Structures are given as C-alpha cells and as structure tokens.
Amino acid sequence: MLKKGTLLHEEKPFAHVLSSNFRFTRCDNCYSKTELLKCSGCQYVRYCDRGCQKVGWTDHKSECPLLRKLPHGRNIPNSARLIAKIIMKLKRGGDREMGLYAKNKYRVFRDLMSHYSDIKEDLKKQEHIISLYEVLKEYLGEESLPNSAEFLGLYGRVVVNSFNILDVEMASIGTGIYLGASTIDHSCEPNAVATFTGTKIHIRALQDFLIYDWSKIRISYIDLLKTSKERIEDLMAQYYFLCDCARCLNVDEERLMNSMLCQNPLCKQPVPVDQVEMYFSVGNSYDL
C-alpha cells in the first residue's frame, strides 16, 4: 500500500530555462531567490554562488558566448533559449541521455511524442515556428539549426512535453523537459500531482495506491478550475487529444461551473449565469 503523499517519482530536467522575468532575482541553475552573482562571461545569467555556477556550466558553456552577443537590455524569448539549449545539448551527445520512469524503463529525447502531423496543420503553431526560427537563426546561426522537418519535430517535442516549473506559491518561474515524467498521462481527476524543488520535479500521490503501477499514475496538464468546455479546448489546442473523462462528460458539474449562488435567502440554489444575465437584461432589480 502506497499512502497518499508518497513520492512516486523524482527527476532532474533534461533541459530547462528560467523565465526571463526572474533572471535578475533567481539563480539560473537552482532557481533560488537570493543575492546573485553575474556570469562574468555573458553578464546575462546570474547564480546564487560559485557552486551553482560550476554545476550549471555544462549547459551554459555553449550558450555563454551567444548571450554575450545580445544587444544590451535585450532578452531572448524563453522558448527560443530552451530550444537552443536542447539543440546544443543534442549535438554534444544529449541524444543518448536516458530518463528513467517506472522501475526499469528508460526513454531518450527522440522518444518524446512530437505530434508532427497535428502541428503541421496547426496555423497558430506554424506562425510561432516561423517567428521562433527567425530568432534562432539570428541567435545560433542558420548553419547550426536542423532542417525544417527536424526542427518541427523538435519544436513539437518541446511544446507538447514541457512542464511549467513552479515555485512554493505555485507560480510558474520556468520551463523544463523531463524525459521520464512526460510519460505520465493526463486526467481531470488526477491521482498524483507534480511539485518542484528548484528544477527537480516530484510526483506525489494524491490518494492511496494499492500497488505501485506507473501506468495508473495520472496528473493534470491544465487548470482544473476551468469548465469542462474550457478544459477540453485547452487539451486539444496544446496536447492534441479529446478528453472524454467522466468529469468532462458530467453535465451536472458543467452546469454548476457555469452558475452562481442564488442570493435569495430562501433559495441558495445554483443559478445558471445565462439566466442571471437574462434576468437583468429585462430590467429586473430584485436581488437574486
């Protein structure tokens, strides 16, 4: 028996990027919020101490001269910096780095689902790819970029499999790719939750498990306070699948999510928002 709160999985990121909104206030390696030291090379990233700078150097070494060339005061978009870090990591052997999941199963970056055909038909994503490619062409140099088909596949693996890295207040402070954790499927009624210590992801049980079965672990990819309609739309737009879980098909819950509490002290029942709008549109002034 695995009790609620049990740590089911933990993992360091294959690649990560601190949001540029926090680059003056958080360490680029561990994301701690403290006094920071500038990288003497690029003057762009900051670290909490020399130890973190040394740990982060493996990834930062390739991007340091590129960041140094950025015009003063200019930020590189988070998505562009993350993809650039992945491109450079793959070139130095990162394609062989394995992420453990379950008890003895592994996957590499290329194993991540790219939804290649879906993204190829997605006009919004195509617009983003074009603008991103132009940024990366200037940043990395066109000769360092993969061909268009490989770039689309890489882009798909990143946007479909990335996690928002959250602080203790559950606010997003960065983005990470986790090879093992990305195998966990979504549910609008999750039995596990992802939390973070710095950049390390922790998957913890939200309920008791009779046995440890990786295939039964579910987390939520989206905001569960949204209505069923909004959740279904978000999942299709970002992850390209139609959620038909029990919660999304629950008509009563959808009705409640689109209602407000009746203000009549003798009632206190849910009132659909569209009925409230209709009530006031005909000039009624009675407090519901």
Contacts of 66 by beta carbon, 8 Å cutoff, 6+ apart: 84, 139, 140
Residue 277 lies in a domain: no
250 is a domain residue: no
CA distance 61 to 51: 15
CA 98/CA 174 separation, integer angstroms: 22
| Claim to verify: residue 52 and residue 79 sit in the same structural domain | no
Q: What is the CATH number of the domain that holds 189?
A: 1.10.220.160
Residue at 128 is within a domain: yes
Same structural domain, 83 and 212? yes
> What are the tokens at 204?
């913890």
Each residue's pLDDT tens digit, 164-206: 999 999 999 999 999 999 999 999 999 999 999 999 999 999 9
Looking at the fold, whether 30 and 122 belong to one and the same domain comes out as: no
- 175 and 156 in a single domain? The answer is yes
Same domain, 32 and 134: no
Task: Give domain status of residue 286, yes or no.
Answer: no
Are 165 and 91 members of one domain?
Answer: yes
Is residue 276 predicted with pLDDT exceeding 60?
A: no
Give the domain-ending residue among 221, 239, 256: 221
Give the pTM.
0.88
Nearest C-alpha neighbor of 191 from the set 216, 225, 161, 228 = 216
Position 146 in a domain:
yes
| CA atoms of 23 and 196, how far apart (whole Å) | 18
Pairing of strands 218-219, 185-186: parallel
Please tell me whether residues 40 and 88 are part of one structural domain. Answer: no
Q: Evaluate if residue 109 carries a pLDDT over 90.
A: yes
**Within this chain, do residues 102 and 201 fall inside the same structural domain, yes or no?**
yes
> Model confidence over 46-98: pLDDT tens digits?
999 999 999 999 999 999 999 999 988 789 999 999 999 999 999 999 999 99
Same-domain check for residues 67 and 79: no
- Convert 140-161 into a string of H (helix), E (strand) and C (coil): HCHHHCCCHHHHHHHHHHHHHH
Same domain? 140 vs 1: yes
Give domain status of residue 206, yes or no.
Answer: yes
Asked whether residue 146 falls in the same domain as residue 184, the answer is yes
What is the number of structural domains in the chain? 2
Q: If we measure between CA atoms, which residue out of 178, 9, 230, 36 comes closest to residue 103?
A: 9
* Domain shared by 53 and 86, yes or no: no
Residue 237 falls inside a structural domain: no
Whether residue 1 is contained in a domain is answered as: yes
Q: Is 53 exposed, middle or buried (0-12, 13-18, 19+ CB in 10 A)?
A: buried
pLDDT above 80 (res 140): yes
Boundaries of domain holding 46: 24-71
Query: For position 286, what pLDDT does the model report?
Result: 42
Query: Of 221, 240, 272, which residue constitutes the final position of a domain?
Result: 221
